[in-house]
Structure 1
């Protein structure tokens, strides 16, 4: 089967979310210039580089406004925090995804405690085992070019501070991601955590 997204009748764009899966979830906390806090999950999230440390998240514009509140806050202040979502925090993560009026504090809606950041103003999710404080590098605005498409905003942020729960740091000093049971998104509203695992050593070059 071959599908051309531009010409296939009733092409389901959610297909892309099913193919590119599982996807890590960036639980992004922001603050506007008035001090109002926002918290929202983004399943289009990933690490871009470790040196310099750069993360990325993106989203399509909602139907009722030109961009999501998270993007508006980041444009205004240039700061955000990513918080690792665990399996145990899945209900709170889902509650924070509610379509609420601008200025609503999703921390309160989800029953989450805030923790102070060091280098930026937005707070962290206190219950998250790992948070990264970020400063905005740039926002790339992608304009729609065909029917059924919407504007999209891609945010690049430089990590300027990292918070780790010491319970998940091993004797070797490494952060044990698997032990946190990170939540990932599959297709639709299905989520998953760590399943089968293996350790693969880096292959050595052939020596003829």
Structure 2
């Protein structure tokens, strides 16, 4: 099948776009509001975009609390979303007001960060402490826009020592979860190696 992406006239029950960009890592973003209220939300439009410097991004549909807090305070944390905390990650995706602490809502404990004020998710296998760099509105050719891309420089990285062996991170042991299309997710438990040709 083929359809014009601008008109989005695909004829399917749901827009297939997200089901075709898979698997998407989940940036489980913790922020601290200017009023001191904690916020935690998962973003599947998330990824690393640079290693020198280390930069990550997450994209928000509309100006949500994570984006507003990151802009207001200049800091956020990306927490690794794993199989063991999948239910809590999902619970933290609830649409609630800015006065609600999603750590409490999802039954999660916090851990202090080292270089930024927002706390980390206790029990998460890894965390990126980030300093907000800028927010980029994602504007279509006709001027429409509803998404914003938030860019942050990673200033501190935590890795649970249980997942480091022989000088490398054992990613499969961490069991990362990823977003697929619709309400579907995947868990990484098996990896394979391909060496790049010289």
**TM-score, with structure 1 as normaliser:** 0.89
CA displacement, residues 22-52 of structure 1 (integer Å, 9 cap, x when unaligned)? 1000000001112111000000000111111
1:199 aligns with 2:193: yes
8 Å Cα contact 1:28/1:41 also seen in 2 = yes
Name the structure 1 match of 2:104. 108
Name the structure 2 match of 1:177. 171
Tell me the distance in 2 between the aligned counterparts of 1:60 and 1:131. Answer: 23
**1:179 Cα offset (Å):** 0.6
Tell me the distance in 2 between the aligned counterparts of 1:141 and 1:193. Answer: 31
Name the structure 2 match of 1:9. 9
8 Å Cα contact 1:5/1:11 also seen in 2 = no
Structure with max Cα Rg = 1
For the aligned residue pairs, the C-alpha RMSD in angstroms reads 1.9
The change in CA–CA distance for 1:195 and 1:127 in structure 2 (over 3 A counts) is: closer
CA displacement, residues 85-141 of structure 1 (integer Å, 9 cap, x when unaligned)? 101111000000001111210000111000001111000001101000000111001
Tell me the distance in 2 between the aligned counterparts of 1:201 and 1:32. Answer: 44
5+ residue gaps in structure 1? Answer: 62-66
Tell me the distance in 2 between the aligned counterparts of 1:103 and 1:8. Answer: 36
Tell me the distance in 1 between the aligned counterparts of 2:88 and 2:26. Answer: 13
Name the structure 1 match of 2:152. 157
Pairs aligned (count): 197
5+ residue gaps in structure 2? Answer: none
Show the 5 A alignment for 1:12-23.
14-23=15-24
8 Å Cα contact 1:6/1:146 also seen in 2 = no
**1:196 Cα offset (Å):** 4.8
Tell me the distance in 2 between the aligned counterparts of 1:8 and 1:14. Answer: 8
**TM-score, with structure 2 as normaliser:** 0.93
1:32 aligns with 2:33: yes
Tell me the distance in 2 between the aligned counterparts of 1:72 and 1:188. Answer: 26
The change in CA–CA distance for 1:8 and 1:186 in structure 2 (over 3 A counts) is: closer
Q: Partner of 2:99: helix, strand, or coil?
A: coil
8 Å Cα contact 1:29/1:40 also seen in 2 = yes
The change in CA–CA distance for 1:176 and 1:195 in structure 2 (over 3 A counts) is: closer
Name the structure 2 match of 1:64. none
